[in-house]
Structure 1
């Protein structure tokens, strides 16, 4: 009896190869491994504190009204105490159900998220994204980056203005809910992209990967009370609260 032959088209092969590559994620790269080691304290306590994320919600570093008029107080309060707090609670439940060691950084889960449940993916992502979001905003934010971060942005995008345009487009064109990001990719190059829902570029299932330097929440709950359906207006005003010092410190630590 003649053995059946496998007729694998080029399109199917490329599709399956791409999925296999994504499943490996940034964690399979040398840079990703070094980042995870730093989160675990392998490069020193200072880097661990700066780069790693825990499983519990941390207090907001400023008042709910501190980002006015660009982000209103009611949005910030609801966002932090309801949406973000809900992700933290559900993450704790998922971690208990799936026997996750919560003494390790959350980044370890995210970079291997394909091994976990949808509940873990949604809530680990939601918790990480919001913890990161609060830290990259400041009442004293705005302006432009300086030093090596500014040089890297100019080298990668041509100018700060071109970077702003690309970043804003990533946020405005994200279909439905999600996030726009500036990341350092596995080749330690700057890149801009977006992810759906509460996914992020650390996840091994993401089609946009890298270690986040900054990110903006473009879910409607982040802006609707003030901006209604004007996502572009919200993103444009967000530059007034971006904490470039925090972004630069993270960039320096990752280098």
Structure 2
């Protein structure tokens, strides 16, 4: 029996991020773009009866085998699900605890992190993602990856937080002003409690805190 995946529900109502992100954007982004990646992934997996049972392993296998079509769709399905969890309807004051300390070590301050994150996202050419990642020792850094690329194919990187910088993530609300979208993400939308849980999982050396729902 072929492996299949379902479109995960948003962790909040589609209008919960307004006015920062409109209901129309969320319904289009989740219900159209994300849903299409899930659908295409399942269509490809229908021809692969021995595919892994988890989306994480499907992504890693597609990468290792050079199956670009499967990788692009499966990785985008995973990245989007992680992005929804990186968003919070309630503004959070910022990181706390061990993650805050790690950001201060790497970027001098939390504001320094925000500045570098915003710059990396604004300067990223074309489509992709800006990720905050950690290694197993708790050292954090920023990576911007193109198209469907994802840190889960690199065993040395554990994803903590991500912002989608594909145009479909922001264009209906911000037009071509990606910088304004990144500013709102960092100041109002970033889910630091989720990032902190990811960080503690990375430091413990255990499995990732977030797994795509089966």
Alignment of 1:213-228 (within 5 A): 213-228=160-175
Cα distance in structure 2, aligned partners of 1:215 and 1:189: 17
Deviation at 1:188, TM superposition (A): 4.1
Q: Which has the larger radius of gyration?
A: 1
Contact 1:141 1:244 in 2 (8 A): no
Corresponding position: 1:200 with 2:147: no
Structure 1 gap ranges (5+): 1-53
Cα distance in structure 2, aligned partners of 1:99 and 1:81: 27
Cα distance in structure 2, aligned partners of 1:140 and 1:187: 30
Task: Determine the structure 2 residue equivalent to 1:10.
Answer: none
| Alignment TM-score, normalising by the size of structure 1 | 0.73
**Compared CA separation, residues 111 and 186, structure 1 to 2 (3 A):** farther
Cα distance in structure 2, aligned partners of 1:100 and 1:70: 42
Structure 2 gap ranges (5+): 204-214
Number of positions where the alignment pairs a residue of Structure 1 with one of Structure 2 = 198
**Compared CA separation, residues 161 and 186, structure 1 to 2 (3 A):** same
Alignment of 1:110-189 (within 5 A): 110-112=59-61, 113-185=63-135, 188-189=138-139
Task: Determine the structure 1 residue equivalent to 2:212.
Answer: none
Contact 1:55 1:102 in 2 (8 A): no
| Alignment TM-score, normalising by the size of structure 2 | 0.86
Alignment of 1:1-255 (within 5 A): 55-103=5-53, 105-112=54-61, 113-185=63-135, 188-203=138-153, 210-239=157-186, 240-255=188-203
Cα root mean square deviation, aligned = 1.9
